[in-house]
Structure 1
Amino acid sequence: MEAQVQTKSLSDETKSAIKTRSIRKNRVQTKNIEKPFSCKLCESAFPQKSRLKRHMRIHSGEKPHACQVCDAAFLNRSDLNKHIRRHTGEKPYACKICTAAFADSSNLKQHVRMHAGVKPHACHVCDARFSHSSHLKGHIRTHTGERPFSCQLCESTFAEKSSLKQHVRTHTGDRPFSCHVCESSFSKKSHLNEHIRVHTGEKPYSCLQCASEFSQSSSLKKHMRTHTLEKRYMCSLCDCSFPENSSLKEHVQKTHGDRPFSCDTCTASFSNRSNLKRHIRRHDTATSAKSYPCKLCGSTFSQNSSLKRHIQTHSEDDYTVLIETTMNGEPSSIDITSSNNTNLDIPLD
């Protein structure tokens, strides 16, 4: 009884040290233990016949442990148990530092490394290091250019399987990550996390040069360019540069005549949709509920503002207009100059 009490009073650090020594001792014993059961297909050897039997399934492809919910099958029962938690949503392995929880103890270990800053997996090409071996594998493909994961619905390829999964959702419309506050749903968990901050008001990304705070890391990056005056987006048609891609696109449209909005009736094209809509009204003048005619030349317009602009195109001579009147039963000639065009009897409203 006293021994139990003493064990309970041990600190977490002491317990961890005891566990570490125990693991190391078991590893030494495992190295020295006799392994009489050898695999005939590879160089593996085992101390027990049952372990050799499980090993042989790797060569035969046998997967005797099947999931009752889906078609998945596994070599070992432990792998099946981990898989089942995906269906049940059970996450028994919780992080003591934050609120994260995991279905697999190995995932928890990898997560804890993020808090501790431990990154044991190093890239042999550059100085990058990672807390997870799979992250390292994905990173190495940025050097090799390998993209082994292909989409079956289009020609897109990816360096990581997780990226392929996220891409497939653009075809299926699947949005598995739902907000518990509103009805919004997202295809990526990271997008959900960013959205939740709209409800909580949390702004974890702070500027080190001023007091500004942001809910998204991308917003912080954009903000930092206001301090550094970095303009990374260069115009290929002139020497202008911009801190954001959206500003560059707007510049190209307005300055260099990029006109992606085309009229289906004629060959006219415009830099923005609103200008195209105004243009289309010109084609609809005949059926327009209200048209604006020019009394100088007879042209008609669908907008009063267009008529006003048109009137300015007439020369001073054009303002000498013959107007039939009933005065003395004869036409009267009225000289209306461009400098005094307010005398022009044209309804502009």
Structure 2
Amino acid sequence: MTQQLSRSAPAQRRTAAAVPGLLLCGAASAAAMAVHGAVPVVSPLLVTIVAGAAVANVAPLGPRYAPGLAVAARPLLRVGVALLGLQLVFGDIVGLGARGIVVIVGVVALSLAGSLWAGKLLGLSPAQRLLIACGTSICGAAAVAAVDDVINADDEDVATAIGTVVVFGTALLGLIPLGVGLLELGPVRGGVWAGASIHEVAQVVAAGGVIGSGALAVAVVVKLGRVLMLAPVMTVISLRRRRQARSGPRPPLVPAFVFAFLVCVLLRSADVVPGQVLVVAGQVQVALLSAAMFSLGTGVRIAALRAVGPRPFLLGAAGTMWIAGLGLIGALVVA
């Protein structure tokens, strides 16, 4: 009994130490979701990362918040990414047909290749260009955070990448519906273009709604097809990290959160999760990712961003234009 009490005491102290930081992240997440509820085009992830960066540079947080921020940036983030799988149904993606699936895989693969190449030309570090490329090509901030969980990049690189993909994804939210109207693409092609190009799931939903009801369902399915690419891409990155790790611990073959993500996809596809649970899980997923973004935002320092310069933002702009072009071609091919 005495040994059990002595073992539980450190765990209790760690839990207590994390409370202040977790409460702060929770408050920031709740506020961001309220803003998103009032203004749907504003991503809660963008709100929290900006809020975190503002706090870090205006009124830096003391060490008492560090344990909770660390929990939000890692374990809570992983749970949020895993729950993203509950939005996916294999049958919906298969329903796009062989041509639609080829377009999704092709857009993601070519977007990754082009962004990584452009990042190398710009002289960015391998970690930074990988973070931005995956965020642009797959599912925005969630993909950036997932890649960071495998490669353990610098906080400044992660925060810069997240801010970059969220900002440019928000720009596409307005530009693609405008382009659909100017090019007279119609709702189906417009939906494919939005789903194949815009970075965040929430941004795709907003853009699909602007284009029209006929575009919304198509846009969401195409986008979730891109989200599904998170699993194979993370596995490839993990394999490469294992080969490069000549000494010390190596990352797992399939990261645990990626496995959990796939389990959630299977559960949703098997239609065994009640509708009310899906609604709650969706809100929890957004809340967890928003809390994680606030934590990552507190790692942003203006001085560090000045030292990095405009190159990450140039890559974000180039990658966004590249995937928008690929998405438009895909829309013309599919529909």
TM range (shorter): under 0.3
State the TM-score, normalizing by the size of structure 1: 0.21
Larger radius of gyration: 1
State the TM-score, normalizing by the size of structure 2: 0.22
